Amino acid sequence: MLLKRKSFLLGCMCAFILAAVSAAPAAAALSTEDCLSCHDDSSLTGEDGKSLNVDPDVFKKSVHGQGGIECVNCHMDLEDVEEFPHPTPLAKVDCSLCHDQEFEDFKTSMHGEAFVAGDPAAPVCSTCHGTHNIKRVSDPASSVFPLNMVDICIRCHTDTKIVEDHKLPAAEKIKAYENSVHMKALKEKGLTVSAACNDCHGSHKIKPPDNPDSMINRFNIPKTCAKCHQGIYQVYVESVHGQDYLMQNNDVPICTDCHGEHSIKSHVSPESAVYATHIAEICSNCHEDETLSKRYGFASQRLKTYLGTYHGIASKLGDTKVANCASCHGYHDIRPPNDPRSSVHPDNIPSTCGKCHPQAGKNFAIGKVHVAEAKESSMGRYFVEKIYTVIIVSTISGFLLFIGVDLYAKRRKRKSHEQ
């Protein structure tokens, strides 16, 4: 009986102790206000002299401040700190604890691989998003808002040391974007739908162009452009070029081969690669290539024969209204001549030529267009050119001979008078 009473008393005592311990106030976790009581000081610096100031108003307006995120939620090594000033430096913030999918994407990117390899120049989350001032992407004040995104990327990609050390594309190529039609739409017009760096290259999953998963891989570029230019893409994939593109033909021209990359200009700009007077030159990059001509069986010397016509001469002299390659063959909807839908199919040539020549009839489809100076392709033109060459040379030679004889006669006459 005595033993039972002692056991009962011991149990009560243990319960009392446990209750007392449970009721004891736990050490309160640091709040944001606690941290700001020191870090609100604009003169606060670390051992390296860098500012440790955090503006309370800036943090409160950030996405984390508005979401009730406390300092210790990110700076987790401060959770149990009781002595202040706390030890420095703090561990780097691990954003992946909340943003796990973004971090997984980042690890597989060019930037992520450089980061994992310990490259000090590799961009991290805060490089683009900021630190205590992070805003939602949809917030115009965010560093990654469409109107601001370009400034973030250009900051590194025009840094001479970073470019040279990492063998990146020349800064001039990147800065060319600043004068592009896309940049003007962003900065001058405020059109947030215009393409910024991340629209073409991606955000967290940026990969090199030779990677099949890269948005700027040659076989992905048309689809990347189609995010904005869907209608044009649908037309292109049905064209002679687009059909070969779908077959992953590496020789076929894609968007950037004609329009350029960072330096894309409006087609009405004289600086544009597809300005009216430049189109023949763009098309000739492929259609004057003898290797491609033999490989695919299309006629070469198209530029040469075009420049020998009235259209070609006028275009070379700067006439923007005269017919060029695209005027007859189309732009994104180019089809082979034997396709009934082609603008240069014999049945369609009158209407194609009729865009400039309203009275164009069926006879427009009879004559050859690209006529080379060769017996095989046009014997009539060949002999006419040869005959005219002989006539012109003979005429000029005759005039020169006449002038020479006349000058000789005058010289002799002058000498006879002097004697």
Out of 85-89, 204-208, 216-220, 309-313, least confident range: 85-89
**pLDDT tops 60 at residue 293:** yes
pLDDT at 16: 42
Question: What residue has token string 């267009």?
Answer: 369
Return all residues near 386 (Cβ < 8 A) that are at least 6 apart.
Answer: none
In the prediction, which pLDDT does 381 show? Answer: 67
| C-alpha torsion sign, points 290, 322, 253, 163 | positive
Query: Is the Cα dihedral 94, 99, 105, 110 positive or negative?
Result: negative
CA distances from 18 to 21, 24, 217, 350 (A): 5, 10, 66, 100
- Percentage of residues of the chain with pLDDT beyond 70: 90
Residue with tokens 């990969």: 207
Greater pLDDT, 133 or 2: 133
pLDDT bin (cut points 50, 70, 90) of residue 361 is confident
Do 154 and 173 meet the contact criterion of CB atoms below 8 Å apart?
Answer: no
- On the question of pLDDT at 182 being above 80, the answer is yes
Residue 63, pLDDT > 80, answer: yes
> For residues 334 and 353, is the Cβ–Cβ distance under 8 A?
no
> What does the block give as tokens for 313?
């001469």
pLDDT, mean over the chain: 89
- The pair phi, psi for residue 222, each rounded to 5°, is -55, -40
Q: Is the pLDDT of residue 241 over 50?
A: yes
**Does residue 8 have a pLDDT over 70?**
no
Of the candidates 267, 262, 226, the one whose C-alpha atom is nearest the C-alpha of residue 246 is 226
Least confident segment among 75-89, 107-121, 286-300, 304-318: 75-89
Query: Which pLDDT score is estimated for 419?
Result: 62
Q: What is the pLDDT of residues 66-88, one digit of tens each?
A: 999 999 999 998 988 888 888 87
Residue 360 is predicted with a pLDDT of 82
CA nearest neighbour of 319 among 275, 277, 271, 355: 277
**Reported confidence tier of residue 370, pLDDT bands at 50, 70, 90:** confident
Q: Please report the beta strands in 50-205, taking only residues with DSSP state E, as ranges in sequence order.
A: none
Stated pTM of the model: 0.79
Residue 51 bridge partners (DSSP): 45
pLDDT at 272 exceeding the cut of 60: yes
pLDDT band at 28 (very low <50, low <70, confident <90, very high): low
What's residue 228's pLDDT?
97
